[in-house]
Amino acid sequence: MERLSQSPTDPAFVQNPYPFYERARALGPFFHWSEYGLACTGNAAAVNAIFRDRRFGREVPPECAPAIAEHTRAFYAVEAHSMLELEPPRHTRLRGLVLRAFTSRRIAALEAEIAALSHALIDAFPAGECDLLRAFGQKLPVVIIARLLGVPEAMSDQLLAWSNAMVGMYMAGRTRGAEERANRAAQEFYDFLRSYVGARRADPRDDLITHLIAATSEGERLSTDELITTCILLLNAGHEATVHSIGNGVKTLLETRTPPAALAPDAVEATVEEILRYDPPLHMFTRWAYEDIEVMGHTFRRGAQVALLLAAANRDPGVWEKPARFDPARPVRANASFGAGLHFCVGAPLARLELQVALPILFERLPKLRLAQAPLYGNVYHFHGLTALPVSY
């Protein structure tokens, strides 16, 4: 396996990681990323195969589990109950219970609410220009997921702060300070939701937390810790990726001067899929090998980790013609942005709906929308999103 060196915290890399992905692709299906000490792949076929192969998974093999530092105990106590980090049979049970409450009908019913909120946020824009990420991209997803769960909408800024601190644990080059912030956020988030779940048990409402509680009484049960962790996961994953998708998507639409017709009712679904393919919010996801496995000529030993480079797989020329070109009219094919297999993102339908509803409203309401200055991506990896999106209108 060829070795390749690239600091994931290098400013030039985080602003545009795609040239590195192309260099890596030229080395074959897999390469060794020196800074991570991991086998990696941006090959679409390999990424899809590993996502769907039950011999790979998210749960750490017992012999590979690292010691948990005292200053991260609260964070990993929450993670221990996350279906994102578990495999069957526990994953099957948790996901099944969540899907009983997080139904497609419940998500589809949010369409009018997403539209109304989009209009309300635009109505509140200051005259002339604003940071669209702060005024729209961050607010829309967190308010919608708060309403869906039944968490007070007034707490949206606090929820966003907790979420940002917690996802810092997944970033390259994280510091002791970042770990302590994530740990503190996890504990505060847990304490808040524990009291809130208690209130919902005493006073049921028509919200997702109440429905998750109800699902625990129908044969299979969610423990209180599982319920709280599931709510944290839905709040974090349910808006973090969508914030970046809105920001990256608006940036792409403006930079490429995509015509308004791409957001028409008969075209918006394909345009959103192209946004997700072209510049997705999550660039790397890892899997553990649970036995010795050969994939496309490379053998993984039990306990080995492999990194799936989702954004690189989304630009594999073996799947997409001229993949570095943003083309809303290209035929829709499954991309890697939401994963695949049994860990396919539970929140994908909600994220897609938010983009399909909000983006047409934004561009219809602001027909003169323009970039006020070149936006910059945050100096982080594995997530890939803007720090701000300055626009004029």
Q: Is the pLDDT of residue 217 over 60?
A: no
- Does 137 have pLDDT greater than 60? yes
CATH code, 330 = 1.10.630.10
Residue 213 is predicted with a pLDDT of: 87
Query: Hey, which residues does 392 pair with through a beta bridge?
Result: 129, 370
Phi-psi region of 150 (alpha: psi -120 to 50; beta: other; left: phi over 0): left
What is the pLDDT, as a whole number, of residue 218?
54
**Is 142 or 101 the better-scoring residue by pLDDT?**
142
Q: Which ranges of 264-346 would DSSP assign to H, the alpha helix?
A: 268-278, 310-313
Map tokens 């970039």 to a residue. 371
DSSP single-letter state for residue 383:
B
**Per the structure, how many domains does the chain have?**
1
DSSP-derived pairing of the beta strands 284-289 and 305-309: antiparallel
The number of residues making up the chain comes to: 393
Task: Please say whether the beta carbons of 204 and 213 come within 8 A.
Answer: yes
What pLDDT, on the 0 to 100 scale, is given for residue 67? 94
For tokens 């009712």, the residue is 265
Q: Which amino acid makes up residue 236?
A: N
SS3 35: coil
Which range among 150-164, 284-298, 360-374 shows the weakest confidence by mean pLDDT?
150-164
Is the confidence at residue 235, as pLDDT, over 90? no
Mean pLDDT of all residues in 21-50? 97
The pLDDT score that the predictor gives to residue 103 is 87
Q: Which of 75-84, 189-198, 230-239, 356-365 has the lowest mean pLDDT?
A: 230-239
Q: What mean pLDDT is reported for the chain?
A: 94
Name the phi and psi angles at 61, rounded to 5: -55, 140
Rg of the chain (C-alpha set): 21
Is the confidence at residue 334, as pLDDT, over 60? yes
Give the 3-state secondary structure of residue 189.
Answer: helix
DSSP, collapsed to helix, strand or coil, labels residue 200 as: helix
Name the band, by pLDDT with cuts 50, 70 and 90, for residue 216.
low
- Taking a C-beta distance cutoff of 8 angstroms, is the pair 166, 190 a contact? no
Answer for the pair 357, 246: CB distance below 8 angstroms, yes or no.
no
303, containing H or E segment: none
User: For residue 170, what pLDDT is reported?
Assistant: 87
| Whole-number Å distance between alpha carbons of 130 and 126 | 7
Query: Cβ(359)–Cβ(273) under 8 Å?
Result: no
Q: What is the pLDDT of residues 102-124, one digit of tens each?
A: 888 989 999 999 999 999 999 99
Q: Which of 208, 182, 179, 170 is nearest to 85 (CA)?
A: 170
Question: For residue 151, which phi and psi values (nearest 5 degrees)?
Answer: -85, 145
- What is the per-residue pLDDT across 287-317, written as a single tens digit (0 to 9) for each? 999 999 999 999 999 999 999 999 999 999 9
Flag whether pLDDT at 219 surpasses 70: no
Domain residues for the domain of 221 are 3-392
Q: If you average pLDDT over residues 162-175, what whole number do you get? A: 90
Q: How confident is the model at residue 98 (pLDDT cuts 50, 70, 90)?
A: confident
Distance CA 261, CA 387 (A): 28
Report whether pLDDT(238) > 90: no
- E strands present in the chain: 3-4, 31-33, 38-41, 56-57, 129-131, 284-289, 293-295, 298-300, 305-309, 370-371, 390-392
Other C-beta atoms within 10 Å of 343: how many? 21
Contact 342, 355 (CB under 8 A): no
Alpha-carbon gap, residue 58 to 52, rounded angstroms: 12
Residue range 243-269, pLDDT digits in tens: 999 999 999 999 999 999 999 999 999
Alpha-carbon distance of 45 to 345, in angstroms, equals 19
Per-residue pLDDT, 6 = 97
Alpha-carbon span 183 to 308, nearest angstrom: 26
Instruction: Show Cβ contacts of residue 315 under 8 Å, excluding neighbours closer than 6 positions.
Output: 18, 21, 22, 42, 277, 278, 323, 324
| pLDDT higher than 90, residue 74 | yes
Q: What is the DSSP letter of 205?
A: -
Q: What is the pLDDT of residue 222?
A: 85
